[in-house]
Structure 1
Amino acid sequence: MSPLDLLNTPIAGRNLIEASAGTGKTFAIAALYLRLVLEQHLPVEQILVVTFTEAATKELRERIRRRLTEAEEAFGQGTSTDPFLMCLIGRITDRSAAGQALTNALRSFDEAAIFTIHGFCQRMLQENPFESGSLYDTELVTDERPILRQIAADYWRTHCYNAPSALARTAIEAGLTPEALLELASRHAGNPLIRILPEPQAMVTPQGGVDCDHAEKWLLALKRGFFDYLAAELPKRKGKKNIRFFQDLLLDLHAAVQAADYSLAPMIREHYRAALIDEFQDTDPIQFRIFDRIYPAGDTTPFFLIGDPKQAIYSFRGADIFAYLDAAKSPLVGHSLGENWRSEPRLIQAVNGLFSSRIAPFGMEEIQFHQVTPAERERELLTLDGREDAAPFRFWFAGRRETGKPINKGDAWQMLTDAVAGEISQLLHDGAEGRLCIGNRPIAPGDIAVLVRANRQARLVQRALSRLGIPSVVCSAGNLFESAEAREVLHFLAAVADPANERQVRAALVTDLLGLSGDDLAAIGENEHGGRQCWRNSAVTMTSGRRAAA
């Protein structure tokens, strides 16, 4: 795998770009897009860009538009401070035609084909209904769980309600409940590439006495039979309601491009004469087979897969690392991005040393760690007492209890959050004294991030910081109306709406918004008049604060 040369790498045929975090992946995509416009003379509606989230789609659209704008200005002026643009100016002889191509690209950029994977599939099915066998008026349902929950409940009711009570109890004790069946359905519903083992078998309910061995076999058959029931029922129920799930978009386009007449794939390839597939580490076999059919190996259409296999090892991403590795084995030209533009040089060196010290550090020999080098650019370095020689990162190890036994999870989290908050407090104290700086300025709360695995853990850290008077915000992908702040506002508004309801008033008073303690509530209970006055003062303070903020 050779370093990617954005200026000179041939852009025909199938290419794979492996890009570690911070190595300029989005910059590379925008540069390739620019070359497709200038060198291949492609209009923006014929350059397909696919990524895997709405947020990434928005970012790519903004970054590509900005790059086209910068290039238009550079070609208009005949010069640029950007080395990449300056090289393009130097090797494109017809500068006037190039400028016009860039102007046209910007004028028609609203038609640029930049989609999420599901958006791309939906567009292809809608624009090619006859070739894909797609219906015009099918409703796209974003939440498939209600219908899957209904199927799971119906299956459970059919096979467990009439079974001997001992079997039903065995299933529940084994965790095979309707909710467990729902989780199975959510993960595997409608995927034709998944083979379910054991093979289909008749469902037999033991009669009479039930021993441990017809019980286990019955449980296995119960679980296996659910997939057959799901495969039969899901299409019928979706057809009856005339609905389609997000996964169906992938499945339907996959079936269409794999059809025997093989007419849709060439049509798509003719329409999109170049393709850049971002975040390809998040692919699965169905997604790869779609693009593999549209842009087959050996075809000269510019086709770039961009991703980082190191990220595909995390199950929470929903990716299939083996699908990525299969794609990497197909005939293609491999490239890598070797400069990190995000991190400090000493941190990059430390990470290189850590992961290069092990063979197959990610558990699979096919996923190698490629060292990256710090990009040459001006950086504001972190210094302590004017020195840059502090350890770039450190490991903390949780200790044991005095008894020698391991710390339980609850105590560990309390200890860890207090330790993190204490460390941050010390960092900010050093910054306030001018000892810890980023460039020439003291470190501030906004310079520090704490990464956790769950929203609940983030709230624990925030509370620990709050106890030390350190301001913080929680960034999460959760629903705003399910947040702790939303619940507190709900308690407050409920009390405002019904101030005679003592229970609601007390709930509002102890929120963080109003900040009363248990002792305060006890005092209020002893002095009814004082309690009403306290609530009135709190409400007035809250309302005044809202008006001031407005």
Structure 2
Amino acid sequence: MTLALDLPLRGTRLIEASAGTGKTFTIALLYVRLILGQGRGADAVLPPLDPPDILVTTFTEAASLELRERIRQRLVEAALAFREPLETESAADDALLLALRDRYPEADWPACARRLELAADWMDDATISTIHGWAQRMLREHAFDSGQLFHRELVKDLRDLQLEAVTDYWRTRVYPLDESHAAEMVNAFGGPAKLAKQLKKLLDRPDALPVFKGTPLTEGSLTDALQAITDRKADMEKAETRARATWQRDPAGIEQALQALRPGMNASVFRNKADDAEFERYLQTLRAWGQGDLPLTEATFVQKLARDRLKLNKGYECPPLALFDDLQVWHDHQAHWEAAREALPPRGLADARQWVAERMASTLEANAQMGFDNMISDLADALEGPSGDALAARIREQFPLAMIDEFQDIDPAQYRIFKRIYDLSADDADQALILIGDPKQAIYGFRGGDIHTYLAARAATAGRHHSLDRNFRSSVEAVEAVTQLFAHAEARHPQRAFRLGDALPFETVSAAGRRERLQLGEEPAAGIIGWILEPEDDRGVINFETYRDAAAAHCANRIAHWLNAAEAGEAGFEQPDDNPLEPLKASDIAILVRDRAEADSIRQALSDRGLSSVYLSDRESVFATPEARDLMAWLQAMANPESVSRVRSAMASASLAQSLNTLDNLQQDELAWEAAQARFVDYRQRWQRHGVLPALRALMHDHEVPAALLARPNGERRLTNLLHLAEWAQQASDSLDGEHALVRVLSEHIDDPAGDEQILRLESDANLIQVVTVFKSKGLEYPVVALPFVCSYRSTDLSKGGGLFHAGDQPMLELAPKNTLAEESVEAADSERLSEELRLLYVALTRARYATFLGIAPIVKGTKKTSTLHESALGYLLGGGEAIPDAPTLRRLWQAHADQCPAITVAPGESEWTTHQPTEPPHSLRTALTPKPPAYLSWWIASYSALKQLGTGAPDTVAAEIRGEEHEALEAASSPLIDQRPAAGTLHDFPRGPEPGTFLHGVLEAAASIGFNQALADPGFQRRMVQRCERRGWGEHSDALQAGLQAWLTTPLAPDNSGLVLGQLTRYRAEPDFWFTTHQTPTPAIDRLVRTAIHPDAPRPTLGYQTLNGLMKGFIDLLVEHAGRYWIIDWKSNWLGPDDAAYSTDALRQAMLEKRHDLQLAVYLLALHRHLRQTLPDYDYERHVGGAQLVFLRGIQAPSRGVAAIQPSKAFIEALDNAFAGAAEAIS
């Protein structure tokens, strides 16, 4: 009988399921058996189980959902089979279900059917999930035994936490170091951000042992490494001092000896030695060094005089000068010093890894959070902890049987869990663990999957191995061709087919076969067809770049030819019983590639021939697409529309699809450029007011992005990516503060897109040629498969360290650079690389139902002169690791397989350009007619910012206005004063920039909200403000903040000495906003009015020309009524200098005019004037309006009190009012 019916469901069993052998089918039938129980009475091994009692795990959410539905379907089919045969016409044909039914007495069939039906209805509660999901559930359900909280928040992205932990490490471990050691750490790592990137590989593989040149690195190595550098440096200095003393004892004699040795000096080392002037310069270098004016590290000529480095021509001997020996000693110490510095990065990484991992774990625990990896590691640690035995027993009681699907992708921590719960060496009747996988398809090493873990489990279950040995996916020819290639390598090569010897044998499978056959001409296609590409030069090899271009072109030509033939009825699938040929479709073809570079090459070749395709990758994040980079350019321009470079980058982005003429016109036509910039100003306003999604949709609409993209190849895909990214941006911005925060987060996702938002699939994708990574194709099948770049491979990259290999079962992570590695380490890492390449090739070759086409060539990579094909997986299968030097050798090896197996054939690797010519061109729709909008005057919402800067719109919030002003203030702080250090503990030393500015405004806003007098008297309020300060990392400035708050609330602020003190006010309003109408107001008229009335004749920037028509909008920090008069107060946190002297009355006036705050205050006074005129009985400007003032918060203790005020006349306010009403008049 079959394995699914006969497998003993007791103890631990390992099922090896080769590609296409019905693994999911077997799991589903085993599940049916478990629901029914094994036989009756004494024959039963496990009692009948319910769905919640059976644990089934796999590796992805999609796979678990699919498996759940397949099992549910099988339960329903089995229930039908146990009903009366007349009612089960569809199920009666399933021989396996009928055989299972026959093992039960007929009288029990109704009860069995009922149990199966109940189980099918119960599948929503079945424990079928990913290992991570199940582990999280176990931690929650067994919180007491596992020592975990009942609820922990899942943090999907730990990059920010990791950077925070690395920054803490840097602060804790590097800051306390002395200057020389700290400099070495900066030289080795740059800073926390770069260190975090270098640490990623070590943190991703916590099971791997970091080693340096084969020697394990331990915690504490960093201190020793830094001390070694210091010691070697001291040795160098001592040796240099000794050598200099030797020179000083006899400088003339040494120069005389060098002159005598001059003819024998090697000219390649001592260039231009025969030139007297040049040689004199050599001697001057020697004298400068000997006199202490030049360090030896900069005296290249002197370094060359070390005895072992002194290169002489044949026939000359080095004289016995003591200086040469002393310099040799220095050179030897220098080599030791360089070796010590070389050892610092690996030792630093090992030290940081332990510290950072512990800090991240403690932070997550303190915040009741966990990452994905914590689900596994925490459960594994709990099972090995003090309560581990009890926890394992409870889980085993809860799940007496577990089936682990895709077991070849298990990682060491996951294996620890199952090994601890279920005894792998036992064959007990009260528990069962079924491990199901195919080690030949273990290709996810980059995710932590470890073939060595699988091999350990294979050894632990010796004697209880089973296999599925019949392929139901592929044709006989396809199965025979794959078998020929791997069976030949298994029999001929010493390390067997997969380079793991007896630990991983290749076992042949038989083919159930398919009734259809692929017809691509007069004869049916073979199982594997080799396209052999011929070299164009005399070396008999082809470089990799040429290979990729040629293979892509030939593959695209052949596909176009097949599809043309299919439309003519000459290519397709031959049906049994003389049924008509089913034409080959584009969607029947899959092209398997390794990465995006290969995908781009073949997709371009297909597009050039009129063929559309879709790219599918298991790691294809939408952030890895060109559209993500275009979105970045758009957002940067929206966030900073005043930046010419930002707006230019956005306009030139590929997704905006602007013509070259349009872009050139923006360079030449100033008005066109101003219009483009104004659009981005509008987008920023939309972003601030309504959100980033409306702003992006407006941009796409204004520039007709959808129409432009849809008119191009793959336009639907590109447009979908943009819409997907726009929606992501809107969701992300909900939890972020400000435009620049969103730009920063998007940049981080683009830099490291792994695990982020996957590309959305389109319904039309299913009708296109599929370009798929081999990793994504695992578990899938396609009628026809092409591997145009099958000879490509990824070389072992140890240039920066980080090579992973195993010493026995222990994974080792070598951190030494490649050029310093021991040969054994390089060979071990490269051997494991080739083993995984072979498994990757096996996955690729077993995807096709009918035929696989391979692009084969004697490729050469890098600067090598001979073919490197033997370093690839296919090259190993053909030659066993021996070199395949040229095309004739390659052809001979491939032909040998074709001679032994008719399912393998040879075909030319060159073809004529072929364009796809569909018989029915795609339908196109006419552009919809739209009515022309009526002409209207430009109407917009302006602000003070719009007046002082051409192209700047109205900020939507107070915070946005503050941030804009603080950005300007920070940029303006470029005077020589910037380098002067303010006194610590003062407001002058408080951090500068948009965020601190917003913070200081927020403190005053909070004080206003509870009452200034209450804030002055309430220690609790001041303590809360200090806590706010400390949370932002500014704790050292908390005393200055407290002193500043006290001064702000108690200092008289009015210029007329009327006693306006915040802490004594009773009538005020914080942050009122205003709107008033404007009518065709030219900005030069406003500028003339303000210049004439406020500090006349004082220089200030001129306003750019605009016409204000619509609304004027703004925010007032504080509106005060004091002594019957109204005052406007605007806080400024600008940094003008390092002490109170920088806040003199003249300096404040200059700062106000430079930034056109005179204009700001005038507009605010006009808003107040219009408001009071409408709301205050018997209003009189001169009697009721006191004025407007800027309060520079950092200058509050200066003699000026930081106050810059204006008190313009009534005539000015009325003239300004008329100007905004459309009747501008100058005043004298």
Q: Do they fold alike, i.e. is TM over 0.5?
A: yes
2:81 alignment counterpart: 74
1:21 alignment counterpart: 19
After superposing the two structures, state which structure 1 stretch, 247-256 or 225-234, moved more: 225-234
Q: Which amino acid aligns with 1:303?
A: L
Q: Please state if 1:444 is matched with 2:585.
A: yes
> For the residues of structure 2 that align with 1:373 and 1:528, how far apart are their CA atoms?
74
Q: Please state if 1:460 is matched with 2:460.
A: no
2:138 alignment counterpart: 124
Residues 31-56 of structure 1, C-alpha deviation per residue, up to 9 Å, x if partnerless? 10011112242111111101111111
Give the one of 435, 449, 459 matched to 1:319: 449
Aligned 8 A contact 1:4 1:335 in 2: no
1:89 alignment counterpart: 101
Q: Which amino acid aligns with 1:91?
A: R
> For the residues of structure 2 that align with 1:398 and 1:410, how far apart are their CA atoms?
13
Give the one of 171, 195, 199 matched to 2:188: 171
Give the one of 464, 479, 501 matched to 1:333: 464
Q: Please state if 1:224 is matched with 2:350.
A: yes
Q: Please state if 1:198 is matched with 2:334.
A: no
> For the residues of structure 2 that align with 1:321 and 1:403, how far apart are their CA atoms?
42
Q: Please state if 1:57 is matched with 2:64.
A: yes
Q: Give the secondary structure class of the aligned counterpart of 1:358.
A: helix
Q: Which amino acid aligns with 1:418?
A: A
After superposing the two structures, state which structure 1 stretch, 406-415 or 21-30, moved more: 406-415
Give the one of 479, 500, 506 matched to 1:369: 506
Residues 244-303 of structure 1, C-alpha deviation per residue, up to 9 Å, x if partnerless? 122211122112222345111111111112211100001122212211221212332232
2:151 alignment counterpart: 137
Distance 1:526 1:231, change over 3 A: closer
Q: 1:461, CA displacement in angstroms?
A: 2.0
Q: Give the secondary structure class of the aligned counterpart of 2:591.
A: coil
Q: Please state if 1:358 is matched with 2:489.
A: yes
2:474 alignment counterpart: 343
Q: Please state if 1:434 is matched with 2:448.
A: no
1:423 alignment counterpart: 558
Q: Give the secondary structure class of the aligned counterpart of 2:435.
A: strand
> For the residues of structure 1 that align with 2:599 and 2:476, how far apart are their CA atoms?
29
Q: 1:184, CA displacement in angstroms?
A: 3.2
Aligned 8 A contact 2:141 2:150 in 1: no
Distance 1:476 1:44, change over 3 A: same
Residues 207-286 of structure 1 aligned to structure 2 (within 5 Å): 207=230, 208=233, 211-261=337-387, 262-286=389-413
Q: Give the secondary structure class of the aligned counterpart of 2:3.
A: coil
Aligned 8 A contact 1:156 1:178 in 2: no
Give the one of 2, 9, 12 matched to 2:10: 12
Q: Give the secondary structure class of the aligned counterpart of 1:137.
A: coil
Q: Please state if 1:308 is matched with 2:327.
A: no
Q: Give the secondary structure class of the aligned counterpart of 2:436.
A: strand
Aligned 8 A contact 1:4 1:336 in 2: no
Q: 1:8, CA displacement in angstroms?
A: 2.2
> For the residues of structure 1 that align with 2:158 and 2:666, how far apart are their CA atoms?
49
Q: Which amino acid aligns with 2:428?
A: D
After superposing the two structures, state which structure 1 stretch, 283-292 or 25-34, moved more: 283-292
Aligned 8 A contact 2:174 2:185 in 1: no
> For the residues of structure 1 that align with 2:628 and 2:347, how far apart are their CA atoms?
45
- Say how many residue pairs are matched: 535
Aligned 8 A contact 2:52 2:127 in 1: yes
Q: Please state if 1:394 is matched with 2:529.
A: yes
> For the residues of structure 2 that align with 1:299 and 1:63, how far apart are their CA atoms?
29
Distance 1:200 1:178, change over 3 A: closer
> For the residues of structure 2 that align with 1:285 and 1:543, how far apart are their CA atoms?
47
- Which sections of structure 1, spanning at least 5 residues, go unmatched? none
Residues 495-530 of structure 1, C-alpha deviation per residue, up to 9 Å, x if partnerless? 99x9xx99589547x65x96x76589779999999x
1:103 alignment counterpart: 117
Aligned 8 A contact 2:497 2:505 in 1: yes
Q: Give the secondary structure class of the aligned counterpart of 2:594.
A: coil
Aligned 8 A contact 1:149 1:182 in 2: no
Give the one of 290, 293, 317 matched to 2:420: 293
> For the residues of structure 2 that align with 1:186 and 1:455, how far apart are their CA atoms?
26
> For the residues of structure 2 that align with 1:247 and 1:199, how far apart are their CA atoms?
23
Distance 1:492 1:149, change over 3 A: closer
Q: Give the secondary structure class of the aligned counterpart of 1:6.
A: helix
Aligned 8 A contact 1:145 1:186 in 2: no
Q: Please state if 1:42 is matched with 2:49.
A: yes
Give the one of 471, 475, 482 matched to 2:612: 471
What TM-score comes out, normalization by structure 1 length? 0.85
Q: 1:459, CA displacement in angstroms?
A: 3.1
What TM-score comes out, normalization by structure 2 length? 0.40
Aligned 8 A contact 2:139 2:379 in 1: yes
Q: Which amino acid aligns with 2:509?
A: V
Aligned 8 A contact 2:408 2:438 in 1: yes
> For the residues of structure 2 that align with 1:183 and 1:502, how far apart are their CA atoms?
35
Q: Give the secondary structure class of the aligned counterpart of 1:450.
A: strand
> For the residues of structure 1 that align with 2:650 and 2:384, how far apart are their CA atoms?
63
Q: Which amino acid aligns with 1:55?
A: A
Residues 459-501 of structure 1, C-alpha deviation per residue, up to 9 Å, x if partnerless? 33222211111122222342235434566799999999x9xx9
Give the one of 514, 518, 521 matched to 1:382: 518
> For the residues of structure 2 that align with 1:283 and 1:539, how far apart are their CA atoms?
45
2:753 alignment counterpart: none
Aligned 8 A contact 2:478 2:528 in 1: yes
Residues 73-124 of structure 1, C-alpha deviation per residue, up to 9 Å, x if partnerless? 2222434111111112222221011011011102211110101001111111
Q: Which amino acid aligns with 1:198?
A: L
Superposed CA RMSD: 3.9
> For the residues of structure 2 that align with 1:245 and 1:149, how far apart are their CA atoms?
15
Q: Give the secondary structure class of the aligned counterpart of 1:81.
A: coil
> For the residues of structure 2 that align with 1:54 and 1:393, how far apart are their CA atoms?
33
Q: Which amino acid aligns with 1:299?
A: D
Q: 1:172, CA displacement in angstroms?
A: 5.2
After superposing the two structures, state which structure 1 stretch, 246-255 or 164-173, moved more: 164-173
> For the residues of structure 1 that align with 2:189 and 2:11, how far apart are their CA atoms?
54
Residues 149-180 of structure 1, C-alpha deviation per residue, up to 9 Å, x if partnerless? 3333444564388445873576259xx94144
1:182 alignment counterpart: 199
Aligned 8 A contact 1:279 1:306 in 2: yes
Distance 1:138 1:216, change over 3 A: same
Larger Rg: 2
After superposing the two structures, state which structure 1 stretch, 222-231 or 449-458, moved more: 222-231
Distance 1:419 1:154, change over 3 A: farther
Q: 1:230, CA displacement in angstroms?
A: 2.7
Q: Which amino acid aligns with 1:333?
A: R
> For the residues of structure 2 that align with 1:217 and 1:476, how far apart are their CA atoms?
38
> For the residues of structure 1 that align with 2:346 and 2:628, how far apart are their CA atoms?
44
> For the residues of structure 2 that align with 1:544 and 1:470, how far apart are their CA atoms?
15
> For the residues of structure 1 that align with 2:451 and 2:80, how far apart are their CA atoms?
42
Aligned 8 A contact 2:57 2:128 in 1: yes
After superposing the two structures, state which structure 1 stretch, 290-299 or 347-356, moved more: 290-299
Q: Higher relative contact order by CA 8 Å / sep ≥ 6: 1 or 2? A: 1
Distance 1:338 1:540, change over 3 A: closer
> For the residues of structure 2 that align with 1:312 and 1:539, how far apart are their CA atoms?
43
